[in-house]
Amino acid sequence: MTTPANDLFARHATVGEIAAALPGATDVFRRFGMDFCCKGNVALEDSARQRGVDVAEVERALSALGCASDGEAVPTATTALIDHIVAHYHETHRRELPELIRLAQQVEKVHAGKAGVPAGLAALLERMASELEQHMCKEELILFPAMRLQGGGVRLDAPIACMRHEHDDHGEHLRELDALTNGITLPPGACRTWQALYAGLAKLNEDLMQHIHLENNVLFPRFST
């Protein structure tokens, strides 16, 4: 996100507004026991006080989400680029997909039968999470260590071809997601949970496309034709 973090969760902003605007905020609110849905119209500071938690701790957790991927240039050296991919994309997918699955399950259950409900979205996200985890583990345990060890100029065509094929599968999942959500477009009157879900899906879409781009077009050509 490019909106300054302080603008996103100034204490006068409501927890519902923050949940809808900042992907990952719903997970933070869950951890602190703060109701962002039914009591989404409560200001952040008031919600924290009602739950007996330190608003400064909540703000720090939200700030970490808002600043996690902002403003850092992509490194060019191979080892640093691999570290960047793992930290900014692998770990982000692992952190954010479980919460998106929970939000999707809630939206599908609470709003079943309503126009625009993305029926089947939670199942798609579960499949994406499972396949992404397998894919990322193969990179972290096999391909990336080989790249770190050998440096540039070594051919790793076979494993890279496998990873590229799996990237194509991830791209197909994004197309399914787009179709299920009408281009990640909220229907009129969508609740805060639904808004938070779609904000997170938009970020997932952007992150995964950038993730695949960095590997396919920047990292992999150093080790394959």
- Residues 102, 34 share a domain: no
**In which domain, by residue range, is 90 found?**
78-222
- Residues 198, 87 share a domain: yes
- Residues 33, 11 share a domain: yes
Q: Is residue 218 a part of any domain in this protein?
A: yes
Phi-psi region of 155 (alpha: psi -120 to 50; beta: other; left: phi over 0): beta
Q: Which of 20, 40, 67 is the last residue of a domain?
A: 67
The residues, any chain, with a CB within 8 Å of residue 186's CB and separated by 6 or more, are 116, 194, 195, 198
Could you tell me the pLDDT band of residue 1, with boundaries at 50, 70 and 90? very low
Q: Tokens in use for 194?
A: 């639904």
Mean predicted lDDT score pLDDT of the chain: 88
Q: Is residue 104 a part of any domain in this protein?
A: yes
- Residues 172, 113 share a domain: yes
- Residues 120, 29 share a domain: no
- Residues 134, 61 share a domain: no
Q: Is residue 73 a part of any domain in this protein?
A: no
Closest CA to 186 of 174, 170, 202: 202
Q: Which of 20, 45, 67 is the last residue of a domain?
A: 67
Are the CB atoms for 86 and 96 separated by under 8 Å?
no
- Residues 198, 120 share a domain: yes
- Residues 55, 89 share a domain: no
- State whether the Cα torsion 121-182-35-99 is positive or negative: positive
pTM higher than 0.75, yes or no?
A: yes
- Report the percentage of the chain scoring pLDDT > 70: 90
**What is the rounded distance in angstroms from the CA atom of residue 185 to the CA atom of residue 119?**
14
Q: Is residue 209 a part of any domain in this protein?
A: yes
Residue 5 exposed, middle or buried by CB count within 10 Å (0-12, 13-18, 19+): middle
pLDDT for 71: 52
Residue 6 has pLDDT above 60, yes or no: no
- CATH code of the domain containing 32: 1.10.3910
- Residues 203, 148 share a domain: yes
Q: What is the pLDDT of residues 172-182, one digit of tens each?
A: 999 999 999 99
Q: What is the pLDDT of residues 121-179, one digit of tens each?
A: 999 999 999 999 999 999 999 999 999 987 666 789 999 999 999 999 999 999 999 99
Q: Tokens in use for 189?
A: 């009157």
Are the CB atoms for 58 and 28 separated by under 8 Å?
yes
- Report the percentage of the chain scoring pLDDT > 90: 66
- Residues 203, 116 share a domain: yes
Number of structural domains the chain divides into: 2
Could you tell me the pLDDT band of residue 22, with boundaries at 50, 70 and 90? confident
Count of H-run helices and E-run strands, the chain: 11, 0
Q: Which of 67, 86, 107 is the last residue of a domain?
A: 67
Which of 3-7, 86-90, 107-111, 193-197 has the weakest average pLDDT? 3-7
What mean pLDDT is predicted for residues 95-120?
95
- Residues 87, 61 share a domain: no
